[in-house]
Amino acid sequence: MYVVATPLGNLQDITLRSLAVLRAVDVIAAEDTRHSQRLLDACGIRTKMLALHEHNEQTAAGQLIDLLAQGRQVALISDAGTPAVSDPGARAVARVRAAGHPVVPVPGACAAVAALSVSGFAEGGFRFVGFLPPKSAARRTALEKLAGERDALVLYEAPHRIAECVADIEAVFGGEREILIARELTKMHEEIARMPLAETAPWFAADANRSRGEFVLVVAGAPEAEGLDVEAERVLALLLADLPVKTAARLAAEISGAPKNALYARALELKSLGDA
Ligand code: SAM
C-alpha cells in the first residue's frame, strides 16, 4: 500500500512520483472521494476510489487488505497533505502492516512541515501537537503541560477557533514568546506572519480576513532560564507549590531580585516537569 501525500491547495505541489503511483494502482482509498475526484480529474487520472474516513476506517482497511491479498496495488490519500497526520490512515496503515503487506510512503506536502520550514524556530527540534482540545478550559490545561517545552510547537487550528486559541496560548505562555501564524499555505491568500504573542490580538483585529482559511501555528520553544541562582530557584519552587505560575514568578522576582522572565520560564519548565 502506498501512502501518498497530496497538495494543500496548490495543485502543482503534487509530485511526479505521486502522479505515477496514483495512476498505476488498482484502487485509491480516499478520505472524501468527491473531494479527491477533483484532484484526479485535474491530473487526468481515472483510477477507481473507495472511501476511507474516520467513521469506516476499520471496514475500509479490511477491504484494502482483501485487495492486497488478491495481488492488487492500493494507494491511500487524504483530503490534503500527508495521510495519517491529524488525518485518517494510521489505523489502516497498522492493519495493513500487521497483515504482512509492505506500506510505502510517497512523501509530499504536509502543512505542519511547510509552516515549520518558514518559521525559523526549529533549530533545536520541534514537537508536532496537531489540534488542541476545542474547549478553552481543556485547551489551557493542555497548553500548561506544553509551556516548558524547549522545542518549537506545531499546532493545527480551525478558523472559527483561531483567535481564541492564540489568546489562550498567550495567556499560558506569556506575551513575549514568538509565534508564526501560517494561513492558507500554498493558496491564493497565503499569509505568513511572525510576532510576539502580545501582538496577535491587534493583528487579528486589524483585518477580519486574518481569521479565515486554514491555519498552522508554530510557537517558539520555551526560553532557557539562564542565570538563576540557587536562592532564586529555592524561592520560586516554594511559591510554585501553592501559587499559579505568573504570580509565583512575579513574587519570586520581587523577593530574590532575579529577572522575572527567567523566573517565569523556569516556573513553566518546573510545572511541565511536575505534570509529566
Ligand atoms: N494531514 C494534513 C497535512 O499533512 O497537512 C493535515 C490534515 S488536518 C485534518 C487539516 C489541518 O491542517 C487544517 O485544519 C489546518 O490546520 C492545516 N492545514 C491544511 N492545509 C493547510 C493550508 N493550506 N494552510 C494552512 N494550514 C493548513
pLDDT tens, N- to C-terminus, the chain (276 residues): 999 999 999 999 999 999 999 999 999 999 999 999 999 999 999 999 999 999 999 999 999 999 999 999 999 999 999 999 999 999 999 999 999 999 999 999 999 999 999 999 967 799 999 999 999 999 999 998 898 888 999 999 999 999 999 999 999 998 999 999 999 999 999 999 999 999 999 999 999 999 999 999 999 998 876 668 888 899 999 999 999 999 999 999 999 888 888 888 888 888 877 665
Q: What percent of the chain has pLDDT over 90?
A: 83
272: Cα separation from own chain's centroid: 20
Residues 6+ apart with CB under 8 A from 87: 31, 78, 79, 81
CA Rg value for the chain: 23
Strand order in the sheet with 74-77: 48-51, 27-30, 74-77, 2-4, 104-106
Q: How far is CA 106 from CA 14, 28, 77, 85, in A?
A: 10, 13, 10, 14
Q: Is the minimum distance from the CB of 110 to ligand 1 under 6 angstroms?
A: yes
The pLDDT of residue 179:
98
Ligand 1 midpoint to CA 231 (Å): 46
Structure pTM? 0.86
With a 6 Å cutoff on the Cβ, whether 216 touches ligand 1 is: yes
Q: What share of the chain is helix, strand, coil (3-state, %, to 5)?
A: 45, 20, 35
Q: Tell me the sheet residues that pair with 191.
A: 183
Residues 168, 174, 179, 181: what is their CA dihedral angle, to the nearest 10 degrees? 30
| 13 touches ligand 1 (CB under 6 Å) | no
Distance 128 CA to ligand 1 centre (A): 13
82 lines ligand 1 (CB under 6 A): yes
- pLDDT 10s digits, 94-139: 999 999 999 999 999 999 999 999 999 967 799 999 999 999 999 9
Question: Atom of ligand 1 at shortest distance to CA of 155?
Answer: 16
As a CATH number, domain 112-219 is 3.30.950.10
The pLDDT, as a whole number, for residue 20 is 98
Ligand 1 centroid distance, CA of 129 (Å): 13
Q: What is the 82 CA–ligand 1 centroid distance (Å)?
A: 9
The Cα–Cα gap between 145 and 148 comes to 7
Per-residue confidence (pLDDT) for residue 11, from 0 to 100: 96
Extents of the domains making up the chain:
2-109, 112-219, 230-275
Q: How far is the CA of 250 from the centre of ligand 1 (A)?
A: 38
| Residues 6+ positions from 10 with CB-CB distance below 8 Å | 186, 187
* Residues in CB range of 250: below 8 A, 6 or more apart: 260
Q: Which residues contact 102 (CB under 8 A, 6 or more apart)?
A: 1
In the prediction, which pLDDT does 224 show?
A: 74
Distance (Å) of CA 147 to CA 65, 171, 264? 42, 11, 10
pLDDT tens for 214-233 read 999 999 998 876 668 888 89
CATH of domain 2-109: 3.40.1010.10
